[in-house]
Amino acid sequence: MDITLTVILVCFVVFFIAGFVDAIAGGGGLITMPVLLLLGIPAHYTLGTGKLASSLGSITALITFWKRGAVIKEVVLLGVISSYFGAVIASATTLLISNEKMTIIMIFLLPVAILLSLFCGTLKLTEEDLPKKGLWWRVSVIGLSVGFYEGFFGPGAGSFF
């Protein structure tokens, strides 16, 4: 694949817009993934490029939220570790799938992720004290599940949280 100046400029503009959108409402991957696929970038490279960008954004967001006291510190480490392992398993799984099949899977999952992102925001929960019973188990399952989704595909993963 030839990486031309045009491809670099398009990616710069698209990733800037996606980072801005992601910081405000999430869903930046819903912008970058289709553009990268349309530019002819192979599926696995599209996933890897998106993960690098979203990881940097997520780390920045975590630091910002941490500084403002908006992180549940009792569970954050377990959440990070369990989501890491879910993402490792998923990333390894995607590498077992051919580029052609992975492209088809990604094209199928994009509209699903868009719908999830649009409609998950309508579900509102009330603020209550953090339940203590089964908390570690739930955080582990949620971390593994969302980490797997993030490692396998990614766009819209924040909607699950």
Q: How far apart are CA 145 and CA 151, in angstroms?
A: 10
- 149 burial via Cβ count (<10 Å: 0-12, 13-18, 19+): buried
* pLDDT (mean) for 118-137: 72
Q: What proportion of the chain, given as a percentage, has pLDDT over 90?
A: 47
Q: What is the pLDDT of residue 23?
A: 73
Going 126 to 128 to 133 to 139, the CA torsion angle's sign is: positive
Q: Describe the crossing of helices 99-120 and 43-67 by its angle, rounded to 10 degrees.
A: 30
Q: Does residue 40 come out as left (phi exceeding 0), alpha (psi in the -120 to 50 range) or beta?
A: left
How many distinct structural domains can be found in the chain? 1
* pLDDT (mean) for 6-34: 86
Confidence (pTM): 0.82
Of the two residues 93 and 133, the one the predictor is more confident about is 93
For residue 82, give its domain range: 5-160
* pLDDT (mean) for 7-14: 92
Lowest mean pLDDT among 4-8, 102-106, 144-148, 154-158: 154-158
Examine the pLDDT at 123 and tell me if it is beyond 70: no
Q: How far apart are CA 106 and CA 118, in angstroms?
A: 18
Examine the pLDDT at 141 and tell me if it is beyond 80: yes
160 pLDDT band (50/70/90 cuts)?
low
Q: How far apart are CA 27 and CA 57, in angstroms?
A: 12
Q: What is the pLDDT of residue 52?
A: 84
- pLDDT tens, position by position, 58-100: 788 889 889 999 888 888 899 999 999 999 999 999 999 999 9
Q: What is the pLDDT of residue 54?
A: 78
* pLDDT (mean) for 129-142: 84
Q: What is the pLDDT of residue 132?
A: 75
- 81 burial via Cβ count (<10 Å: 0-12, 13-18, 19+): middle
Q: How far apart are CA 159 and CA 27, in angstroms?
A: 8
In degrees, rounded to 5, the angle at the alpha carbon of residue 38 between the alpha carbons of residues 56 and 55 is 10
